[in-house]
Amino acid sequence: MGFVGIIANPASGKDIRRVVSYATVVNNHEKVSIVRRVLLALYAYGVRRVEIMPDHFGIGVRALEGLRDRPQVQEMVSLIDMSFDGSADDSLHAAQHLRDGGAGCIVVLGGDGTCRVVAKQCGPVPLLPLSTGTNNVVPCFIEGTVAGAAAAYVAQHSNARFERLCRRHKRLLVHVNSEQVDQALVEVSLIATGFVGSRAIWDVSSLCQVFVSRAQPTAIGLASVVGMLRPVSPTDPCGACAVISADGREVIAPIAPGSFARVGVGEVYDLVPGVPYPVQDGRPAVLALDGEREIVLRDGDEVTVTLALDGPWIVDVEQTLLQAVQAGAFLR
């Protein structure tokens, strides 16, 4: 039976979009509470080993401090033995450790950015992302108690076919001068600026092009620019790209919680898996991955985006719990 890992990003949900929009604030104290409820559910449903990523706020430590009356739960939990500096590399290294150690499921507390980082090193280990970020397309809004029950069942059936309990997410692979430099799970956006500045995107005035693996009218973020015109579901074996044009059809898109932008959209075309699609010329520029500026493009850089269908396994919480009920997993 695989164990369960928990990666709770203390920096998620603290970008500039909290100031310029009306996003819900999930502070670190609430993350502590969520982790505590996940731990209680994991123990109730048979998990006896959990490893948590350490961080400067001490989300895992504080969660355990609140469980002094549950020593049996405390005993099953340990912090991952790793150095940490408060950067995204912490989540990256924690995911690699959990993958190499044989975790059966990783519970992730964060937004799309955190999920993107964890997905780069989790390998075949299923992810159960809980929404504590600003824009949350991949993570789900679900109670930690329920998430813990689903994670427990997945970890205890880590040898089963993932298709029964999970869905495979798509990826967008970014190549600069023929070298793969990064990936996104939801969208890759071209921004006409030479500076990273505030990493989160909230102003679309410099938006030039948006590649998406999924785009639905129910989603918030840059992918909604495509989703309001050409919806792409998480299970569709394709993606889409939109070219931004002042002369195009004007779309009213929810860029951040409670914040809307009018965006002119020109050509919209499908992305076929495995085919590299060119990013528009115009340098210097910045590529934003899942809503955050990450890659600075210089003069002469040739850039492509390729859709891949082999992204991380994401736990389908409802399907997993229905399977668990049918198997009598909750009968004692």
Residues 301 and 242 in one domain: yes
The CATH code of the domain that includes 303 is 2.60.200.30
Residues 269 and 123 in one domain: no
Can you give the pLDDT at residue 122? 97
In a domain, 331, yes or no: no
Give the count of domains, the chain: 2
249's tokens: 């059809």
- Of the candidates 121, 144, 127, the one whose C-alpha atom is nearest the C-alpha of residue 26 is 144
Residues 80 and 221 in one domain: no
Can you give the pLDDT at residue 2? 81
Residues 117 and 12 in one domain: yes
Output the tens digit of pLDDT for each of the chain's 332 residues.
Answer: 689 999 999 987 554 444 445 556 679 999 999 999 999 999 999 999 999 999 999 999 999 999 999 999 999 999 999 999 999 999 999 999 999 999 999 999 999 999 999 999 999 999 999 998 766 799 988 999 999 999 999 999 977 777 889 999 999 999 999 999 999 999 999 999 866 555 667 688 899 999 999 999 998 899 999 999 999 999 999 999 999 999 999 999 998 888 899 999 999 999 999 999 999 999 999 999 998 889 999 999 999 999 999 999 999 999 999 999 999 999 98
In a domain, 184, yes or no: yes
The DSSP-derived string for 186-229 is SEEEEES-S---SSB----TTEEEEEES-B-TT--STHHHHHTT
Residues 81 and 227 in one domain: no
Residues 204 and 284 in one domain: yes
Three-state SS at 16: coil
Residues 63 and 26 in one domain: yes
In a domain, 186, yes or no: yes
Can you give the pLDDT at residue 16? 46
Residues 203 and 322 in one domain: no
Residues 39 and 54 in one domain: yes
Domain around 86: 4-169+312-326
Residues 182 and 150 in one domain: no
Residues 118 and 67 in one domain: yes
Which residues, in sequence order, are CB contacts of 183 under 8 Å at separation 6+? 116, 119, 120, 171, 172, 173, 174, 289
Residues 264 and 212 in one domain: yes
In a domain, 332, yes or no: no
Can you give the pLDDT at residue 155? 96
In a domain, 176, yes or no: yes
The DSSP-derived string for 283-305 is SSEEEEETTEEEEEE-TT--EEE
Burial 294-331 (b: 16+ CB within 10 A, else e): bbbbeeebebbbbbeeebbbbbbbeebbebbeeeebee
The CATH code of the domain that includes 31 is 3.40.50
